[in-house]
Amino acid sequence: MGAEVFDRIETRLADGEGEGQVLAPAGVSHGILVLDLAPGAVAGAARALKEEFAFDVFLDVTAVDWPGQDPRFEVVWHFYSTAHKVRVRLKARVAEASPAVPSLTPLYGSAGFMERECHDMYGIVFEGNADLRPILLYEGFVGHPLRKDYPKEREQPLVPYREGFEERG
């Protein structure tokens, strides 16, 4: 049953209206359908998944940083359908200069917090999410720690250390 709904999704999204859709042939990776999209097509694809294919649970959005490559960031979304009991992964590449993707907050309430986390950690801007305050980091934190060029031990203390202790850079 999983394979059958995957075929329907592929067909539907391959000839969807609008900007360039599926960039690479869809594959099934360890039981999950993976679709590579252009960033502008993600909102339309997510809407199609939710409304036509009953992907009612938005599981996760995160990003992967490929510093040597251009576009640098790969934003990854996971969806789950309680009816079909399958998961789908959408991926989109964005460049470092303008790391913007559409926000899924109009479709799913859970997108709010998860997009804030992705923004904190990687600097991905979710257009349409009005609230991109830091969630895991704090006000005044400069930089995006999960990017590969952020040194792991560079700390930005909010409270100055007592005498005799030094900050790690």
Partner 1 sequence: MASNPRIANPVRSAFAPGERDDTVVVSIGPSHPATHGTIQIFAEMDGERILRADVHCGYLHRGFEKECESHTWHNCIPYMDRLNYCSPLINDFAYCDAVERMMGIEITRRAVVLRTLLSEYSRLTDHITCIAASLMELGAMTAFLYMVMIRDYMYEHIAALTGARVTHSYGRIGGLAHDLPPGWLARLEEILVQSDEFVGRVHGLVDRNRIFIDRMRDVGVLSQADALSYGYTGPMLRSTGLAIDVRKDTPYLAYPELDFEVPVGIKGDNYDRYYVRMREMDESVHMIRQCVDLLEDGPINVDDRRCTFPEKPLVYGEIESLINHFKLVMEGPRVPAGEIYVAHEGANGELGFYLVSTGEGVPYKVHCRAPSFVHMGGAHIMLEGYQLADLVPTFGSINMIGGECDR
Partner 2 sequence: MTMDRRVIPIEPAGATARSAAFEYISTRKDELVGWARKFSIFPYPFVTACCAMEFMAVSSTPYDTDRFGAALPRFSPRQSDLLMVVGTVTHKQAPILLKVYEQMCEPKWVMAFGVCATSGGFYQNYAAVPGIDRIVPVDIYIPGCPPRPETVIDGIMKLQEKIAREKHPILTKDF
Binding residues for partner 2, rule: CB under 8 A, are: 137-138, 145, 150, 152-159, 161-162, 165, 168
Rounded to 10 degrees, what is the CA torsion of 140, 117, 124, 71?
120
In this structure, the dihedral spanned by the alpha carbons of residues 117, 118, 119 and 120, taken in order and rounded to 10 degrees, is 50
Report what 162 binds from partner 1, partner 2, none; CB cut-off 5-8 Å by kind. Answer: partner 2
Q: Considering only residues 16, 40, 123, 145, which one is a binding residue for partner 1 as defined by CB under 8 A? A: 145
| 15/139 with CB nearer partner 2 | 139
95: left (phi over 0), alpha (psi -120 to 50) or beta: beta
Nearest residue (CB) to partner 2, 68 versus 160 = 160
Which residue in this structure is represented by tokens 């394979």? 3
Supply the minimum distance, in Å, between the C-beta of residue 109 and partner 2.
24
- The listed partner (partner 2, partner 1, none) that binds 70, CB under 5 to 8 Å by sort, is none
Q: Is residue 162 near partner 1 by the rule CB under 8 A? A: no
Number of helical H runs and strand E runs in the chain: 3, 7
What is d(CA 71, CA 87) in angstroms, rounded to the nearest whole number? 26
Whether 105 contacts 111, CB under 8 Å: yes
Return the one option of partner 2, partner 1, none that residue 57 interacts with (CB less than 5 to 8 A, by type): partner 1
14: Cβ–Cβ under 8 A, 6 or more apart, which residues? 21, 22
Say whether residue 56 binds partner 1 (CB under 8 A): yes
Return residues touching partner 1 (CB under 8 A). 29-32, 56-60, 62, 64, 76, 78, 80, 82, 85-87, 89, 108-110, 112-114, 117, 121, 131, 133-140, 145-146, 150, 152, 158-160
